[in-house]
């Protein structure tokens, strides 16, 4: 399978869709990408690492922009090869990976082959195993084995964002709230103290919790505090002496993990409840104040992109943020269609993203 | 091991304690009881059924009183053989079964051998496997195999009641209360509807539930509504779309099972909750208005017994009630000491219970 990087990125997306690349089975697509980069680009140092392909220029320019995309997809569900249709007068491309994220990969590959003189040094990383457990993530492997390859002034991940810049990420923590009572036989329940009944005020506070919205660098982060588990009970004839609620707090990146935990604890102030933080990960600030990021934001605003918004959930953007590299998601496709059987992308989004990034790399404003 | 049924019932209790008889291992004690009844009583038809021993007179008297006691105990915990001590100037007998219920068995065996001319026909049933799962209960087996043996005007079970008459029993039902919501990722929890949070008002009603007390035939029944289980949760990052509470309602025997279920349902009126009755058993009215029962109640009141009170929980009394036979618990020993390692009985309770029953069987008032 030969990829023509100079073809329209829409065509290139369709070609990538037609190379099946379910996680842990990316050898064929990585081979095709590596060969195409070696044969159809100039000025790149190219390295193969497992089923990841890395390429970078070393022209000594003051700014380095990193473009990263994963090559793997979720399991195929009768949606490969892809196909084009027209819906409401617009061309749409269906297929596994059309959104997540072969359209983003296609844009990056096309730019690598067609932008001859970018104003910045470029690093491209096409990696494997993003869709499965974090331990297998190809970008994580690169971080361990080739950490210098992740150095950049701005990292752009081509994850589907419908042409919006999605930046930063919320933090997450989980906590266990335990209430206690006194065990007794239900036939004489007045001798006991029912721990499950004592969950009422805890759940009431969750039900009435008013979540904060915070704007940082133009991104609005909306927090959320959710019960994700509740359990209690000894037997059908026993007043239980213990019950617990597990909560998950998604918090804006202006709180540290410690501050977020303290906030959750304070939600239950005055209740007789034991609070235990079970796990958590800090958020990542959007980092859109760096010059390289500001330029991209301006370009998106002035060229018909969607604008800037917060990224919900933990993504590989956070990996760069943790390394101190400003990072954003910016790619074609509605993220809500990712992993769906009817995954599809309006092709004009591919064109728009490619055009914005081309102008950005050429320093056009 | 030879039992001397004519010895003092205190001595006889100690002798029974010293024959280990953990549930499913009652052959030795059943043998001893059978031999003693055959050799030391007169006028009884005696039948062996598994490890149960049955004896009855057939004198054509207008009233039949049934005395029943289980021979088995919970597992021995270094508390066999038994021993006597003196506490606060009173003699106390320690040992596994001293309370539950070899002291009651001893009283019945002693009366069988020493009350020559009772005013009623007598049935004695000493049975096995009361302390383990209901399916093994010896009285249940007798009900299936020898149902005519359970016929009586009053059944007296020698279960520990500290010399009180414990009559009737509460009903019990369990119900599942299910609430639903809409599943979502916790990172965007406002797109979902958290079912666990919706448990708050249900648990609040349980917490504030005011239980009824009802007096029937002089017995006060105190009801109770308890959560016995709560569960919900999909994963640590998912807003759950379903959660449930299991409740157990213990209800006075003036409600039918259907009325009790309707009552529980009504506790949650106005809440968006699905109610499902999962299991239940009706209560048993005390039945103390029958002549045979009235005589016993009078005898207890006039001879230093404890009086009359409701029995909590389902016992073999209920089995007789279901057959239309008025039934009570009446035996020596504090029921709260049953199954304890330091199980013990003040011996004067054994004497009192034996004296009351002797007078009752002799028709003395």
Question: pLDDT tens digits, residue range B127-169?
Answer: 999 988 888 999 999 999 999 999 999 999 999 999 999 988 8
pLDDT of A72 above 90: yes
To the query of whether residue B72 is one of the catalytic residues in this protein, the response is yes
> Can you name the residues that pair with B156 across neighbouring β-strands?
B67, B328
Find the range with the poorest average confidence among A206-215, A220-229, A232-241, B278-287.
Answer: B278-287
pLDDT of B34 above 90: yes
pLDDT tens, B297-332?
A: 999 988 877 889 887 766 788 889 888 899 999 999
pLDDT of B264 above 80: yes
Interface test with B, best of A168, A181, A236, A272 (most B CBs within 10 A): A236
Average pLDDT (A321-340) is: 90
- My answer on whether omega of the bond before B81 falls inside 30° of 0, hence cis, is yes
Asked if the C-beta of B206 comes within 8 angstroms of chain A's C-beta atoms, the answer is yes
Residues near B364 by Cβ (< 8 Å), separated by ≥ 6?
Answer: none
Q: Which of A72, A121, A131, A241 is catalytic?
A: A72
A304 falls in which pLDDT band (50, 70, 90)? confident
pLDDT of B259 above 70: yes
Buried b / exposed e along B113-131 (16+ C-beta atoms within 10 A)? bebeebebbbbbbbbbbbb
Please tell me the predicted confidence (pLDDT) of residue B313.
67
A314 falls in which pLDDT band (50, 70, 90)? low
Predicted-assembly ipTM surpassing the 0.95 threshold: no
Asked if the C-beta of B207 comes within 8 angstroms of chain A's C-beta atoms, the answer is yes
Closest alpha carbon to A245 in A172, A173, A174: A174
Chain B CB contacts of A309 below 8 Å: none
Q: Which of A130, A217, A244, A295 is catalytic?
A: A130
Chain B CB contacts of A185 below 8 Å: 312-313
pLDDT tens, B179-228?
A: 999 998 898 899 999 999 999 999 999 999 999 999 998 889 999 999 99
Nearest CA in chain B to A211: B190
Helical (H) or strand (E) element with B53: strand B52-56
Nearest to A231 among B203, B230, B238 (CB): B230
Joined tokens for residue B286: 């005390």
Please tell me the predicted confidence (pLDDT) of residue B281.
84
CATH 2.40.50.140 fits B9-169+284-361, yes or no: no
CA dihedral B105, B108, B113, B118 (to 10 degrees): -170
Please tell me the predicted confidence (pLDDT) of residue B297.
92
Nearest to A313 among B187, B201, B222 (CB): B187
* Nearest-angstrom CA–CA distance, B98 and B105: 10
Please tell me the predicted confidence (pLDDT) of residue B319.
87
Q: Cα-flanking dihedrals φ and ψ of residue B145, to 5°?
A: -95, -30
Please tell me the predicted confidence (pLDDT) of residue A9.
98
| Bridge-based pairing state of the strands B327-329 and B154-157 | parallel
Report whether B105 contacts B124 (CB < 8 A): no
Interface test with A, best of B191, B193, B230 (most A CBs within 10 A): B230
Interface test with B, best of A134, A189, A192, A264 (most B CBs within 10 A): A189
Contact B227 A190 (CB under 8 A): no
Contact A207 B198 (CB under 8 A): yes
**Residue A60: Cβ-neighbour burial (10 angstroms; 0-12, 13-18, 19+):** exposed
Contact A187 B203 (CB under 8 A): no
Nearest to B228 among A228, A233, A250 (CB): A233
How far is the alpha carbon of B277 from chain A, nearest alpha carbon, in Å? 13
Please tell me the predicted confidence (pLDDT) of residue A257.
93
Helical (H) or strand (E) element with A276: strand A274-281
Contact A196 B238 (CB under 8 A): no
How far is the alpha carbon of A187 from chain B, nearest alpha carbon, in Å? 5
Asked if the C-beta of B42 comes within 8 angstroms of chain A's C-beta atoms, the answer is no
Residues near A133 by Cβ (< 8 Å), separated by ≥ 6?
Answer: none
To the query of whether residue B254 is one of the catalytic residues in this protein, the response is no
Asked if the C-beta of A196 comes within 8 angstroms of chain B's C-beta atoms, the answer is yes
pLDDT tens, B107-126?
A: 999 999 999 999 999 999 99
Average pLDDT (A66-83) is: 96
* Strand ranges of the sheet holding B83-87, from the earlier edge strand across to the other edge: B83-87, B90-94, B344-346
Whether pTM exceeds 0.80: no
Please tell me the predicted confidence (pLDDT) of residue B280.
87
pLDDT tens, A248-303?
A: 999 999 999 999 999 999 999 999 999 999 988 888 888 888 899 999 999 998 88
Chain A CB contacts of B226 below 8 Å: 186, 189, 192, 194, 197, 239
Residues near B268 by Cβ (< 8 Å), separated by ≥ 6?
Answer: B177, B202, B205, B275
CATH T-level assignment (fold) for domain B171-281: Alpha-Beta Plaits (3.30.70)
How far is the alpha carbon of A229 from chain B, nearest alpha carbon, in Å? 4
pLDDT of B175 above 70: yes
Please tell me the predicted confidence (pLDDT) of residue A339.
86
Please tell me the predicted confidence (pLDDT) of residue B289.
87
Q: Which of B34, B72, B241, B343 is catalytic?
A: B72
pLDDT of B84 above 80: yes
Report whether A140 contacts A129 (CB < 8 A): no
Contact B199 A230 (CB under 8 A): yes
Chain B CB contacts of A203 below 8 Å: 196-197, 199-200, 203
Nearest to B238 among A228, A230, A240 (CB): A228
Chain B CB contacts of A237 below 8 Å: 172, 228, 248
B50 falls in which pLDDT band (50, 70, 90)? very high
Which residue spans of chain A are classified as CATH 3.40.630.10?
9-169+284-361
Interface test with A, best of B188, B195, B197, B284 (most A CBs within 10 A): B197
Residues found in chain B: 365
pLDDT tens, B329-359?
A: 999 999 889 888 899 999 999 999 999 999 9
Please tell me the predicted confidence (pLDDT) of residue B340.
87
Joined tokens for residue A109: 């590959």
How far is the alpha carbon of B231 from chain A, nearest alpha carbon, in Å? 5
Nearest CA in chain A to B236: A228
Which residue spans of chain B are classified as CATH 3.30.70.360?
171-281
User: What is the average pLDDT value for chain B, to the nearest integer?
Assistant: 94
Joined tokens for residue A364: 């056009």
Asked if the C-beta of A197 comes within 8 angstroms of chain B's C-beta atoms, the answer is yes
């Amino acid at each position: 399978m030969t990829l023509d990087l100079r073809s329209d990125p829409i065509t290139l997306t369709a070609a990538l869709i037609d190379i099946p690349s379910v996680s842990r089975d990316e050898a064929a697509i990585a081979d095709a990408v590596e060969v195409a980069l070696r044969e159809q680009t100039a000025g790149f140092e190219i390295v193969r690492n497992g089923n990841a392909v890395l390429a970078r220029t070393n022209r000594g320019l003051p700014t380095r922009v990193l473009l990263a995309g994963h090559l793997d997809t979720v399991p195929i569900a009768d949606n490969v090869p892809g196909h084009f249709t027209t819906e409401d007068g617009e061309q749409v491309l269906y297929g596994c990976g059309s959104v997540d994220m072969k359209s983003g990969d296609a844009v990056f590959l096309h730019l690598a082959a067609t932008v001859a003189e970018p104003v910045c040094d470029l690093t491209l990383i096409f990696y494997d195993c993003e869709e499965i457990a974090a331990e297998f993530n190809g970008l994580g492997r690169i971080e361990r084995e080739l950490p210098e390859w992740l150095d950049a002034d701005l990292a752009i991940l081509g994850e589907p964002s419908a042409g919006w810049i999605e930046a930063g990420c919320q933090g997450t923590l989980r906590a266990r709230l335990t209430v206690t009572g006194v065990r007794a036989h239900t036939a004489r329940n007045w001798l006991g103290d029912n721990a499950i009944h004592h969950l009422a005020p805890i759940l009431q506070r969750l039900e009435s919790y008013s979540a904060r919205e915070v704007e940082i660098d133009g991104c609005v982060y909306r927090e959320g505090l959710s019960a994700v588990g509740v359990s209690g009970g000894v037997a059908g004839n026993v007043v239980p002496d213990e019950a617990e609620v597990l909560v998950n707090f998604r918090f804006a990146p202006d709180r540290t993990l410690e501050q977020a935990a303290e906030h959750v604890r304070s939600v239950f102030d005055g209740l007789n409840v034991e609070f235990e933080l079970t796990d958590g990960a800090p958020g990542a600030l959007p980092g859109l104040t760096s010059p390289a990021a500001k330029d991209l934001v301006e370009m998106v605003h002035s060229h018909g992109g969607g604008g800037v918004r917060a990224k919900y959930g933990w993504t590989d953007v956070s990996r760069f943020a943790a390394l101190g590299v400003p990072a954003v998601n910016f790619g074609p496709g509605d993220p809500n269609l990712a992993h769906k059987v009817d995954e599809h992308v309006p092709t004009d989004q591919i064109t728009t993203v490619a055009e914005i990034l081309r102008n950005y790399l050429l320093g056009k404003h």
